[in-house]
Structure 1
Amino acid sequence: MSSIIINKAFLEDLEILQAVAKETFMETFSKDNSKEEMDRYIEKSFNKEKLTDELKNPDSFFFIAWEEDQPIGYLKLNSGSAQTELKDESALEIERIYVKSSHHGKKVGQLLYDKALNVTKEQQKSYIWLGVWEENLKAVNFYKKNGFVEFDKHIFRLGNDEQTDLMMKKIIE
């Protein structure tokens, strides 16, 4: 495998980001959810207007993982009022880490997580947090391995379907 680089995403990366977001979300969750709910969620969450607004938000940060000229995953971080829930100025939220299935097991998710941790430290945040679907055991175990602990639960809406996310956080030393 060639080396992986992670670059900050900007507005000019919109179409690449949209394509990798849709592809990785479908790969990750389509086997466990109906096509209708998946389509509904993807249309709402990854349309160009929404992604444009998110890319323009100074409190949101996107990073794309690249292998040569191919996008293979991405990361979305939120601080301040861009956070989906806590809105804690001393925290940074990992809203999304997704990697193409072709690159699972190749440490791309770890590289994206390491980038999130570095941004958290650069911004001098006290902790980093996220919500992860309770049935996505691979992801739950990944975060536990990286020092996250569960502190609450919340409802995540996939289309019209309500699912339970574990809320997890890691204190930054």
Structure 2
Amino acid sequence: MMKDVEIRKCVAGDEELLALVGKATFLESFAGMIFGQDVVEHCIVQHSLEKYREWLASTHYEIWLAEIGPGQAPIGYVVLTKPDLPLEGLDPKDVEVKRIYVLSRFQGAGIGKRLMETARNFALARGYQRLLLGVYGGNESAIQFYRHMGYREVGTRTFQVGEHTYQDLIMGWDL
């Protein structure tokens, strides 16, 4: 079944697929870890059709979608953009992995790795020298995945979800 997973560049009209996967993966990852109402509000605002429509229309975002077969069920995605991280020494050759999500049922099957490699290949082709990302400090499985890919800790930030503040790690991968 995993051989049927295709990764493709997103286009206008994919905002519904992105919003669906974004909400589902955020809920399954953080329900019970982050205060309940905060998780719901975050999904409503940060994974809205309007947010993804805006990103798809912008030249500042690059988004790829993982699907089971062409035009089939979406199971994950990755978003690249200009870094928006509180990190000293940001360079024009840095690019941020704003989001990378894979439905839990498909984690461990190499989909996240393929999405990350897609982002890395794009970054290398455009002359970027480092991928950056922020990850919730309590999400050990994600942190381990990023370390396995080659990321290392380069800073921290506070991250607001609803009424509560959380600590994120900022990780970088030198290309």
Which category describes the TM-score, using the shorter chain as reference length?
A: over 0.9
Q: CA deviation at 1:127?
A: 0.7
- Secondary structure in 1 matching 2:128: coil
C-alpha distance in 2, partners of 1:149/1:140? 9
Q: CA deviation at 1:120?
A: 1.0
Q: Which residue of 2 aligns with 1:154?
A: 157
C-alpha distance in 2, partners of 1:50/1:65? 19
Q: Which residue of 1 aligns with 2:22?
A: 21
Q: Which amino acid aligns with 1:134?
A: G
Q: Which residue of 2 aligns with 1:117?
A: 120
TM alignment of 1:53-72, pairs within 5 A = 53-68=54-69, 69-72=72-75
Gaps of 5+ in 2: none
Counting matched residue pairs gives 169
C-alpha distance in 2, partners of 1:24/1:168? 21
Q: CA deviation at 1:119?
A: 1.0
C-alpha distance in 1, partners of 2:135/2:143? 7
- Secondary structure in 2 matching 1:84: coil
C-alpha distance in 1, partners of 2:115/2:91? 22
- Secondary structure in 2 matching 1:7: strand
More divergent stretch after superposition (42-51 vs 105-114): 42-51
Deviations, residues 49-87 of structure 1 (Å, cap 9, x unaligned): 2221111110111111011211111111113xxx32266
- Secondary structure in 2 matching 1:11: coil
TM alignment of 1:73-112, pairs within 5 A = 73-79=76-82, 83-85=83-85, 88-112=91-115
C-alpha distance in 1, partners of 2:52/2:73? 20
- Secondary structure in 2 matching 1:54: helix
C-alpha distance in 1, partners of 2:79/2:32? 23
Q: Which amino acid aligns with 2:31?
A: S
C-alpha distance in 2, partners of 1:11/1:29? 28
C-alpha distance in 2, partners of 1:125/1:23? 31
- Secondary structure in 1 matching 2:31: helix
- Secondary structure in 1 matching 2:109: coil
- Secondary structure in 1 matching 2:50: helix
The Cα RMSD (Å) is 1.3
Normalising by structure 1, what TM-score? 0.92
- Secondary structure in 2 matching 1:10: coil
Q: Which amino acid aligns with 1:7?
A: R
Kept in 1, the 8 Å contact 2:2–2:109? The answer is no
Gaps of 5+ in 1: none
Q: CA deviation at 1:2?
A: 4.0
Q: CA deviation at 1:88?
A: 3.7
Q: Which residue of 1 aligns with 2:43?
A: 42
